[in-house]
Amino acid sequence: MSSKVLAFINFKGGVGKTATVVNIGATLVALHERKVLIVDLDPQSNASLWLMRPDRWREHVARGRRSTFQIFDDALQGKNRFDFDETLVRGVVTWTGFTDLPRLHLLPAAVELLRIEDRIHELRASAIYQILDSTLGTQFKQYDYILLDCPPNLYSTTKTAIFSADNCVVPYVPDYLSLSGFQVLAEQIIEMREKFAPYLPGRRKPNIGALIVSHYRQSGNVFRLAVNELELSMAALRETGVLPDSAILLQPCIRHCVRVAESTSEHLPVILYAPGSIGAQDYADLTQRFVDLFEGKK
């Protein structure tokens, strides 16, 4: 199977983006025996802190050296200090100190990524787009899935991720503001792809491949109606060519689950923290659909 590079994006915060990345990544490893790399590109470092204890994370990324910040800083400085193997975090350390999910790897982020947007304009646009490709492209080949956890914006760091991706995955919370934001996001990706076109290798054509609904509540009709509105919007965007025909809303919706929220403070994906919870079950079901979609199964 060839590597699948997927950028998880949404310029709206609080939509479950990092929860989706961490828990799909862990479930791909635990239940599907895939080898997965999570690349944390968000200066908030939420994916890193979900999978690493704070003291270990601070020590690991001190001054941004063993983090994704170094990739961008090298591009700006014209240097080559980023070391993939030294930066890589392999597996998840449980309460007992045992390393579980050894095939789940992480390139952690650091808060120093905040500095990048102030200076990245110093580079040519083509060089900006290709930062991740040129630094990590050969490393990506050793994984089945590379999940790029992007910051909640469409600035340069996110653009490098979209450029490097085979597809974009949009985590989504079913409400009116998210619906209007999704339409804008889909249009922005079309514009970006046109700008990327002269530099894109081969047949890569990044676009939205899937939407994933998080924080779903079954009480009342509000969320069900909002999901229906989303599906109607997706159909309209397909007709106008803004969304490809292959873009789908992956089921099931991820229900609100307190165990998922608790798992963050335990620095474990929910499949390790509470494998019998509805959150773990929802992510297991969703990840099966995820595999079927991106590996071309019926």
Output the pLDDT for position 220.
67
* Sign of torsion over alpha carbons 35, 250, 2, 4: negative
Instruction: Show the tokens assigned to 229.
Output: 């509105």
DSSP code of residue 41: -
Which fold does the domain 4-294 belong to in CATH? Rossmann fold (3.40.50)
CA distance 178 to 214: 12
Output the pLDDT for position 289.
97
CA distance 227 to 167: 22
**Residue 59 DSSP SS3:** helix
Token pair 């046109």 in the structure block, residue: 194
**Residue 148 DSSP SS3:** strand
* Per-residue pLDDT tens listing for the chain (298 residues): 789 999 999 987 788 899 999 999 999 999 999 999 999 999 999 999 999 999 999 999 999 999 999 999 999 999 999 999 999 999 999 888 899 999 999 999 999 999 998 999 899 988 998 999 999 999 999 999 999 999 999 999 999 999 999 999 999 887 777 777 888 899 999 898 888 888 887 767 889 999 999 988 876 677 888 889 999 999 999 999 999 999 999 999 999 999 999 999 999 999 999 999 999 999 999 999 999 999 986 4
CB 55 within 8 A of CB 96: no
CA distance 92 to 102: 7
Output the pLDDT for position 238.
93
In 3D, which of 71, 68, 138, 140 has the Cα closest to residue 108? 68
In 3D, which of 250, 248, 271 has the Cα closest to residue 259? 271
pLDDT in tens, 171-185: 988 777 777 788 889
Output the pLDDT for position 203.
67
SS (H, E, C) 201-262: CCCCCCCEEEEEECCECCCCCHHHHHHHHHHHHHHHHHHCCCCCCCCEEECCCCECCHHHHH
Kindly give, in sequence order, each residue whose CB lies less than 8 Å from that of residue 252, ignoring residues fewer than 6 positions away.
282, 285, 286
Output the pLDDT for position 226.
86
CA distance 268 to 276: 14
CB 137 within 8 A of CB 30: no
CB 171 within 8 A of CB 214: yes
